[in-house]
C-alpha cells in the first residue's frame, strides 16, 4: 500500500508530518538524521522538534530575541521547554569548518544543551559541551547518547545491548568522507578505503559472533577512552580474526588507520548488531566505498537485500540443493540463501530434538557442501570468502575466476567444486552494459549467444549463424547475455535460475533470439518488474527479474500460468534514502498465493 504523496517539490517531514520543501538539506540530511534519532537513538517524536523550528537566543543573556532556528532540537521530555533542551542537530550544507563554528555558536546560546551534531548527509561531527571554571569547552565524541543514556556511558556496550541496524549507508558515507579527508594521500583510493572499512567490519562481525550475550563487546570506543588504547584493542581484535581465518586473510592484511580514524569509524557503528541487520551490511559498505569503481571497470552493481530475499524466497532452496552464483560480488545471494537454508535446518532440528552442537555442525556441513560462488575480481572474491567464513563458513566454495571462460581454464580447486550441469539453483545479478562487451574468441565460441543471429522472415524463426559476434565497431556481446547461457549450462535439468537482467532483454526486437532460446530451453516461472530506483543512486538502468526452470533439449512445455508482478516501490528513493513503501518485499508472498490458485490471478 502506497502512502499519500506530497505535491511536486515537497516532502512530508518525518517528525512533524508537515509538508515542507524538498531542499537538498532536508532530503539528504535533516530527514535522514530525524529517522536515526527515532530508530537508532530511541527518542520519541514528542521529544524532537523540527517544524515549526525551535529558535535559540541571539546572545546568551537576551531571552527576548530568539532568532536562530535549529534544524532538529532534542528535549529531555515532551514539554519541549528550553530548560529541557539537551541536544541540537545542524544540517546545513556547509564545509566542516563552517559547520563546526555554527554548531558551537548555537550550543553557546542555551545553557542546558549538553551535546550537538553537525551533519550534512556526507560528514558528521559529534560534540560534547562542558563548562569548566566559567569557560565553555567542546570535545569531539564517538557518538551521541541514546534516550536516557549518559554521555559517559557511550561505548559501554554488552553484546545484548546491540540493536539491529535498518540502514547503515548513511553511516558508511560519513565514514568514507572522514577517511578520505584523514588518510594519507597515498592510501585514499576507493580500494584502500574499502579494505580498511571491510577489515573493521569483520572485526565487528567476529566480535558479535564470539562475545557472550552478557559480556562487554571488544569493538567499542568510549567517550573518555584513550584513542591509542581503542586503536590497540581493535587491531588486536583483527589479529584474532586473521588467526581464526588464516586461510582467507594474509599477513599483509593490516589495519593502517590512525587512532582518530579508528575511533571515528567504530563510534559510527559500535551500537549496532550487524549480524542481525535487515540489510546486507557488507554489500552496503561496498556500494558506498567501491561501487563507482566497479561500475566503471566491470559494470557491477550490488543487489539490494530486499530483491535478493525476494528471489531466494521464491526459489526456496532447501538443505540439499546445490547453489551457485557465477557473479557473486560480495556474496549477497549466497549469504541470504545460507540464512534461508539454515532456517530450514533449525526447523528440522526442532522436530528431531537435536542439540545446539548438532545444529551448528549441520549448518557448517550445509554451507561447506552446497554453496559455491565465483567472481573475477580478486578483492571482491576474497571479501566474499571472508564474509562466508565469519558468518558460518562455506568459504571453501568461493573462487576468483572468470565465469565466462572455458571451465578448463579455471583452477583445479575450482574445477573440483564447480562444473557444468551440477547445480539445482543458480542465483545471480551479472555485470551488464554495452560499454564492456566480450570480444574474446575463446569465450564467445563456447556460447550460442557468442555468435551472430538472424531472423528468418519466412520461417519466422531466429537462426544461429556460424560467425562469431566480435567483428566491427559494434562487435562483441554484452556480458549479461552470455551469463544467461552460462547459468543454464551450470544447471541440472529441472534446476532453477533466478537472474537480474536489464529490460532490453525482454523487449528489444534485436534480442528476440534470446527470448526464443529461453522459451526452448526453460519453463518460465516468474517475471518481476522492479522500479528504476531499485539500483539507484548507482545506476538508473531498468531491470526485471527472471525465474525459470531448465528443461530437457526438445522437451515441450504444456501451457502454464506465469507469475508476473510490477513493483512500483522498492524501499528507497532515487538517492538511496530509505522509504517505508516497499512492493518488492511483498512479492514472494503473492507468488506462493499464485502457485496455490493461479486462476484467481488471471486478469
**DSSP string computed for 158-213:** BGGG-EE-S--HHHHHHHHHHHHHHS-GGG-SHHHHHHHHHHHHHHHHHHHHSS-T
Of 419, 415, 427, residue with least CA distance to 334: 427
Last residue of a domain, one of 223, 248, 276: 276
How does pLDDT run across 251-270, given as a tens digit for each residue? 889 999 999 999 999 999 99
Residues 249 and 201 in one domain: yes
Residue 561: count other Cβ atoms within 10 Å of its Cβ.
12
pLDDT at 277 over 60: yes
CA 392 to CA 244: how far, in whole Å? 12
Residue 49 confidence class, pLDDT cut points 50, 70, 90 = very high
Residue 431 inside a domain? The answer is: yes
Cα–Cα separations (whole angstroms), residue 369 to 150, 297, 335, 349: 48, 32, 14, 18
Percent of the chain predicted with pLDDT > 90: 63
Per the listing, cell 583510493 goes with: 189
For residue 185, the model assigns a pLDDT of 60
Q: Do 220 and 255 lie in a common domain?
A: yes
Q: Which residue has the cell 538517492?
A: 575
Q: Count CA atoms within 13 Å of residue 419 on its CB side.
A: 8
What pLDDT does residue 296 have?
A: 46
Q: How confident is the model at residue 278 (pLDDT cuts 50, 70, 90)?
A: low
Instruction: List, for residues 289-344, the tens digit of each pLDDT value.
Output: 665 555 545 545 678 889 999 999 999 999 999 999 999 988 889 989 999 999 99
Segment 73-82 mean pLDDT: 90
Residues listed for the chain: 603
Question: Mind listing the pLDDT tens digit for each residue in 342-400?
Answer: 999 999 999 999 999 999 899 999 999 999 999 998 888 887 887 787 776 777 899 99
Residue 306 maps to which CATH number? 3.40.50.150
Report if residue 484 sits inside a domain.
yes
pLDDT of residue 330: 81
Poorest-pLDDT segment among 295-299, 567-571, 583-587: 295-299
Residues 261 and 403 in one domain: no
Q: Is residue 553 part of a domain?
A: no
Which of 308-312, 403-407, 467-471, 546-550 is predicted with the least confidence, judged by mean pLDDT? Answer: 467-471
- Tell me the C-alpha distance between 87 and 94, whole Å: 20
Please answer whether residues 534 and 543 qualify as being in contact, where contact means their C-beta atoms are separated by less than 8 angstroms.
Answer: yes
Confidence of residue 4 (pLDDT cuts 50, 70, 90): low
pLDDT of residue 117 exceeding 80 = yes
Q: Is position 458 within any domain?
A: no
Grid cell in block for residue 108: 553557546
416 and 315 housed in the same domain: yes
Domain boundaries, position 215 = 161-276
Q: In terms of C-beta distances under 8 Å and separation of at least 24 residues, what long-range contacts does 72-80 make, across chains too? A: 72/15, 72/30, 72/33, 72/34, 72/37, 72/48, 73/48, 73/49, 74/37, 74/43, 74/47, 74/48, 75/47, 75/48, 75/49, 76/47, 77/47, 78/44, 78/46, 78/47, 80/47, 80/49, 80/54
Looking at residues 452-466, what average pLDDT do you find? 93
Name the pLDDT band for 246 (thresholds 50, 70, 90): confident
pTM as predicted: 0.76
- Under DSSP, is residue 421 helix (H, G, I), strand (E, B) or coil? coil
Q: Cα 316 from chain centroid?
A: 21
* pLDDT at residue 283, rounded to an integer: 66
Number of structural domains found in the chain? 3
Where is mean pLDDT largest: 74-83, 143-152, 465-474? 143-152
Q: How far apart are CA 108 and CA 103, in angstroms?
A: 9
Q: What band does 2 get if pLDDT is binned at 50, 70 and 90?
A: very low
What is residue 495's predicted lDDT score, i.e. its pLDDT? 97
pLDDT of residue 294: 53
* Cα–Cα dist 448/457, whole Å: 20
* Boundary-marking domain end, from 244, 276, 308: 276
> For residues 41 and 33, is the Cβ–Cβ distance under 8 A?
no
Judged on CB neighbours under 10 Å (0-12, 13-18, 19+), 406 is: exposed
Q: Is residue 453 part of a domain?
A: no
Distance, in Å, from the CA atom of 428 to the CA atom of 500, rounded to the nearest integer, reads 7
Cα distance between the two ends of the chain: 20
Amino acid at each position: 500500500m502506497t502512502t499519500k504523496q506530497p505535491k511536486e517539490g515537497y516532502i512530508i517531514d518525518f517528525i512533524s508530518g508537515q509538508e515542507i520543501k524538498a531542499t537538498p538539506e532536508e532530503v539528504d540530511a535533516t530527514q535522514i538524521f530525524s529517522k536515526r534519532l527515532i530508530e537508532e537513538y530511541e527518542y520519541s517524536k514528542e521529544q524532537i522538534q523540527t517544524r515549526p523550528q525551535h529558535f535559540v537566543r541571539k546572545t546568551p543573556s537576551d531571552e527576548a530575541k530568539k532568532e536562530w532556528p535549529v534544524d532538529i532540537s532534542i528535549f529531555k521530555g515532551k514539554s519541549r521547554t528550553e530548560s529541557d533542551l539537551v541536544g541540537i542537530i545542524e544540517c546545513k550544507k556547509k564545509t566542516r569548518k563552517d559547520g563546526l563554528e555554527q554548531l558551537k555558536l548555537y550550543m553557546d546560546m542555551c545553557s542546558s544543551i549538553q551535546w550537538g551534531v553537525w551533519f550534512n548527509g556526507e560528514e558528521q561531527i559529534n560534540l560534547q559541551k562542558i563548562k569548566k571554571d566559567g569557560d565553555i569547552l567542546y570535545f569531539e565524541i564517538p557518538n551521541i547518547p541514546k534516550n536516557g543514556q549518559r554521555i559517559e556511558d557511550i561505548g559501554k556496550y554488552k553484546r545484548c545491548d546491540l540493536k539491529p541496524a535498518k540502514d547503515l549507508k548513511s553511516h558508511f558515507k560519513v565514514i568514507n568522507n572522514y577517511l578520505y579527508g584523514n588518510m594519507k594521500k597515498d592510501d585514499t583510493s576507493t580500494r584502500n578505503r574499502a579494505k580498511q572499512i571491510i577489515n573493521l567490519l569483520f572485526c565487528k562481525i567476529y566480535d558479535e559472533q564470539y562475545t557472550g550475550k552478557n559480556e562487554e563487546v571488544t569493538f567499542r570506543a568510549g567517550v573518555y577512552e584513550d584513542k591509542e588504547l581503542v586503536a590497540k584493542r581493535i587491531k588486536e581484535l583483527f589479529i584474532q580474526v586473521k588467526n581464526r581465518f588464516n586461510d582467507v586473510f594474509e599477513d599483509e592484511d593490516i589495519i593502517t588507520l590512525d587512532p582518530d580514524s579508528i575511533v571515528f569509524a567504530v563510534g559510527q557503528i559500535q551500537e549496532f548488531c550487524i549480524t542481525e541487520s535487515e540489510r546486507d551490511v557488507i554489500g552496503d559498505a561496498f556500494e558506498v566505498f567501491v561501487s563507482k569503481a566497479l561500475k566503471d571497470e566491470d559494470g557491477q552493481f550490488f543487489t539490494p537485500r530486499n530483491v535478493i530475499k525476494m528471489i531466494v524466497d521464491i526459489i526456496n532452496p532447501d538443505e540439499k540443493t546445490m547453489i551457485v552464483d557465477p557473479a557473486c560480488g560480495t556474496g549477497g545471494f549466497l549469504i541470504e540463501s545460507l540464512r534461508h537454508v539454515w532456517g530450514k535446518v533449525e526447523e528440522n532440528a526442532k522436530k528431531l530434538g537435536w542439540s545446539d552442537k548438532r545444529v551448528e555442525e549441520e549448518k557448517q556441513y550445509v554451507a561447506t557442501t552446497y554453496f559455491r560462488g565465483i567472481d573475477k575480481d580478486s578483492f571482491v572474491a576474497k571479501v566474499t570468502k571472508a564474509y562466508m567464513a565469519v558468518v558460518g563458513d562455506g568459504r571453501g566454495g568461493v573462487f576468483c575466476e572468470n565465469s565466462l571462460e572455458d571451465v578448463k581454464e579455471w583452477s583445479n580447486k575450482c574445477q573440483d567444486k564447480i562444473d557444468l550441469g551440477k547445480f539445482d539453483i543458480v542465483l545471480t545479478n551479472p555485470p551488464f552494459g554495452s560499454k564492456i562487451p566480450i570480444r574474446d574468441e575463446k569465450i564467445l565460441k563456447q556460447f550460442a549467444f557468442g555468435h551472430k543471429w538472424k531472423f528468418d522472415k519466412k520461417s519466422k524463426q531466429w537462426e544461429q549463424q556460424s560467425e562469431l559476434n566480435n567483428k566491427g565497431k559494434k562487435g562483441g556481446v554484452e556480458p549479461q547475455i552470455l551469463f544467461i547461457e552460462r547459468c543454464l549450462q551450470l544447471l541440472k535439468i529441472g534446476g532453477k535460475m533466478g537472474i537480474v537482467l536489464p529490460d532490453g532483454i525482454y523487449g528489444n526486437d534485436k534480442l528476440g533470439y534470446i527470448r526464443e532460446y529461453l522459451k526452448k530451453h526453460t519453463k518460465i516461472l516468474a517475471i518481476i518488474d522492479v522500479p528504476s530506483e531499485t539500483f539507484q543512486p548507482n545506476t538508473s538502468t531498468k531491470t526485471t527479474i527472471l525465474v525459470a526452470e531448465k528443461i530437457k533439449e526438445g522437451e515441450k512445455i504444456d501451457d502454464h500460468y506465469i507469475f508476473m508482478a510490477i513493483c512500483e516501490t522498492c524501499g528507497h528513493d532515487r538517492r538511496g534514502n530509505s522509504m517505508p513503501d516497499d512492493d518488492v518485499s511483498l512479492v514472494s508472498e503473492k507468488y506462493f498465493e499464485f502457485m496455490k490458485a493461479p486462476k484467481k490471478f488471471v486478469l
